[in-house]
Amino acid sequence: MITESTSVLVDVRKYDGSPSAQWTATRLGDDEHGAWLGTAQGVPVRSATGGWTSRFAYVMVVPRDDWWTATFCVDPGPEMYCDVCTVPEWSADGTVLSMVDLDLDVVRPWGGAARIEDEDEFAEHQVRYGYPESLVGKARQTCEWLIEAGCRDGDGVEPFASAYRYWLGLIG
């Protein structure tokens, strides 16, 4: 397990390149699941529709070469919030993380079961942005995998079952 503390600009875009969300996180370290970023409560977030501040602290794992990221929040935020996205890309110096949000999300509230959100937005954006069929297929496949993998406490796979707790403990 590698640990470090580096500031990272997280830059999430829509398929047409317009901003979806942008904020600064701290790179907490890396393990077999990917890079772990921490965001404190109250961090400013910018988007095309305005700005807000993060309502609670959370960690995000950025896997290597997969079409998703997963965020794990302190209560009262959702326990798990997975974004289906293009494979995240790092700048050469590791200070900027970029990805394209593909709208589909898998959310697991504390004490609840994982569910898919924003299927309507995904359908709308397929038309608006002209998602290629290969991208639609990969996004749906990833979403279905996340629903299965995102089960809790030993029923799912890591990092969704419990591995995130170590990293969340560093900031929460």
Kindly report, residue by residue over 24-74, the tens digit of the pLDDT: 999 999 999 999 999 999 999 998 888 899 999 999 999 999 999 999 999
The reply to whether the predicted model has a pTM over 0.85 is yes
The sign of the dihedral angle between the CA atoms of 128, 87, 78, 46 is: negative
Question: From the CB of residue 156, how many other CB atoms can be counted at a distance below 10 Å?
Answer: 19
Which residues are registered as beta bridge partners of 10? Answer: 23, 97
CA dihedral 135, 67, 83, 26 (to 10 degrees): -140
Nearest to 58 by CA among 79, 44, 30, 83: 79
Burial 113-127 (b: 16+ CB within 10 A, else e): ebebbbeeebeebbe
Could you tell me the pLDDT band of residue 1, with boundaries at 50, 70 and 90? very low
State mean pLDDT over 100-110: 96
Question: What's the pLDDT at 155?
Answer: 66
Burial of 7 (0-12, 13-18, 19+ CB in 10 A): exposed
